[in-house]
Amino acid sequence: MSTAANEAAKSGSTEAAAEAARRRTFAVISHPDAGKSTLTEALALHAAAITSAGAVHGKGDRRGVTSDWMDMEQARGISITSAALRIDYRDTVLNLLDTPGHADFSEDTYRVLSAVDCAVMLLDSAKGLEPQTLKLFDVCRARKMPVITFVNKWDRPGREPLELMDEIEQRIGLRPTPLNWPVGIAGDFRGLLDLTGGGESAGAGFTRFRRAPGGAAKAEEEFVGAEQAAAEEGAAWSQAQEEVELLGEIGAVYDEKSFLAGESSPLLFGAALPNFGVGALLETLVRLAPAPAPKADTEGRERPVEAPFSGQVFKMQAGMDKAHRDRMAFVRISSGRFDRGMVLTHGATGRPFATKYTQAVFGSERSTIDTAFPGDVIALINAAALSVGDTLYDGPKVAYPPIPSFAPEHFAVARAVDAGRYKQFQRGIAQLDSEGVVQVLSSDVRGEQAPVLAAVGPLQFEVVSHRMAEEFRAPIELAHLDYSLARRTTPECAPTLHALSGAEVLKRRSDGELLMLVHNKWRLRVIEREHPDMVMEPLLAGG
Ligand code: G4P
């Protein structure tokens, strides 16, 4: 390399390291209705990325947006796109990746968590931990991912803060360490005590909550000194002081090491709708959430963020243009600077991949981007050759470990409606399997003609049906199976388990794993009790 080229490469890598350091890439994990859309809006609003609530990403907004990408998407009025929202906050770039919930919950929802460095666990103050939050948390825990907890809707009647902390610690073994503390009982919320000052100044900062007239508008935040607050808030103030003292005694104080290891979780209280306590969450993301770190390749070697470009596909979006079988690949950048037009190498095939058509994804808007850095998500168009988990890189070969497949909970037998289209049927199923749209299982008993499709969410079946009919011209019929659980087993155990009633063993085509499908957890318990010597391992998340 010439000296000039050397210098250019060096300054490029310094730039990538600096840009990586100011990025925070995260997702919100929550149960439907906890307030994810509202919080997303509030974060964007607070960061001044948008001028009025509802302009980006909100539910009301989402309803109004009809994507022409997919007939199905239009028909159902839901968004299948897992969007990445960029929020510029002071000097930090926050990349918020959407985890689709409700009806669009699917394996992609879990995969998004493989593309973030941190999660915000959003809880409804009245409900605490709910099923979908628990499933998503399982994925975070498996990755030892740092989790920040935000208890939302504190403006409404809810549970006691200490009770919520106890639930989190007891049920999921995550130790909450409050960064602020509510003053006033649930439903009579007065404001938040800032505990981040530490030591003597802890509790000194009090932000008073005053509901602004008109509901959704931003609440008024008023900073009040400790003496004045003590005089004005009376009993509510003293109770909060006592609770905060107790927090110190039980050791519920922020600890960086255990947070980064996914063992403790900074806890914040607030209310997204009136935009109260949202600024504290932004500050926490900036101060405590980790910036993109070196990613380990398949050999376990960590690739520095300033190394030449590398990234991994974590989601595929199909059906933008029926005629062209177009596909979009969402890539999380792990290292280096990305420039639109770069020719990268596609790890799986070793072939060049041109990136002339690249977009950044901001809510429902897509805009063309020219440069991106570690932590950012780019969407590559015309990406028919790519699959979930594929690595793209610049320069010498890089291979990242595949994204794991997650525990399916929905199962259906697929058959070609028209036996004469069997070849297209086989090709389509194989393609959708390799893209990670659905998991494909088969067994000698059922035969190759009748593969079992396994999904995390039922939406995946709809995507398969739609694409098989539209793209592969091989319409399918699906017969849903009465199973809701899968367990990993071994060739030695398979015959015994397969012979049991209410269970069946099939092989996953992508990796050859043997999965036992079971009707429900009660049946599983009986089987486990009666066959203690059999291997029946849970799969990741939900299992
Ligand atoms: P989701 O994306 O997690 O499903 O939740 P979303 O933001 O849609 O919020 C669910 C409901 O909770 C919404 O009311 C929303 O206005 C309300 N909400 C969210 N955050 C807060 C908060 O901090 N305080 C209060 N009091 N309410 C909050 P909805 O009436 O069900 O929906 P909508 O018809 O207003 O959209």
Distances 443 to 190, 464, 503 between C-alpha atoms, Å = 61, 20, 13
Give the pair of three-digit tokens for residue 536: 């029946």
Q: 475 and 382: one domain?
A: no
Q: 267 and 304: one domain?
A: no
**Nearest residue CA, atom 7 of ligand 1?**
35
Mutate to test the pocket of ligand 1, among 38, 122, 155 (most ligand atoms within 8 A of CB): 38
Q: 344 and 371: one domain?
A: yes
Least confident of 137-141, 332-336, 376-380, 411-415: 376-380
pTM: 0.88
pLDDT for 427-483, tens place per residue?
999 999 988 889 999 999 999 899 999 999 988 999 899 989 988 999 999 999 999
**What is the atom index within ligand 1 of the atom nearest the CA of 122?**
3
Residues 239-268: what's their mean pLDDT?
94
pLDDT for 263-284, tens place per residue?
999 999 999 988 889 989 999 9
Give the pair of three-digit tokens for residue 215: 């509901």
Task: Name the burial class of residue 178, with classes exposed (0-12), middle (13-18) and buried (19+) by CB atoms within 10 angstroms of its CB.
Answer: buried
Q: 284 and 304: one domain?
A: no
Counted domains in the chain? 3
Q: 240 and 369: one domain?
A: no
Q: 328 and 423: one domain?
A: no
- CB proximity list for 341: less than 8 A, separation 6 or greater: 354, 355, 356
8 A C-beta contact, residue 237 and residue 183: yes
Backbone angles phi, psi at 507, to 5 degrees: -105, 135
**Complex-level ipTM beyond the 0.95 threshold:** yes
15 part of a folded domain: no
The binding-site residues of ligand 1, defined as CB within 6 angstroms of any ligand atom, are 30, 32-38, 59-60, 152-153, 155-156, 271-273
Residue 463, domain extent:
410-538
Instruction: Estimate the crossing angle of helix 131-142 against helix 161-172, to 10 degrees.
Output: 50
Domain boundary (264, 288, 312) is at 288
Q: 461 and 492: one domain?
A: yes
Q: 43 and 187: one domain?
A: yes
Mutate to test the pocket of ligand 1, among 30, 33, 36 (most ligand atoms within 8 A of CB): 33
Q: 374 and 485: one domain?
A: no
CATH code for the domain in which residue 343 is found: 3.40.50.300
Residue 101 marked as a ligand binder: yes
Q: 141 and 284: one domain?
A: yes
Centre of ligand 1 to C-alpha 287, Å, is 27
Backbone angles phi, psi at 15, to 5 degrees: -65, -45
Q: 427 and 459: one domain?
A: yes
**Nearest residue CA, atom 24 of ligand 1?**
153
Residue 538 marked as a ligand binder: no
pLDDT grade for 366, boundaries at 50, 70 and 90: low
**Nearest residue CA, atom 9 of ligand 1?**
35
Centre of ligand 1 to C-alpha 37, Å, is 8
pLDDT for 152-199, tens place per residue?
999 888 899 999 999 999 999 999 999 999 998 777 888 999 998 744
Domain boundary (288, 308, 343) is at 288
90 part of a folded domain: no
- Note the pLDDT of residue 9: 65
Centre of ligand 1 to C-alpha 123, Å, is 12
Centre of ligand 1 to C-alpha 213, Å, is 18
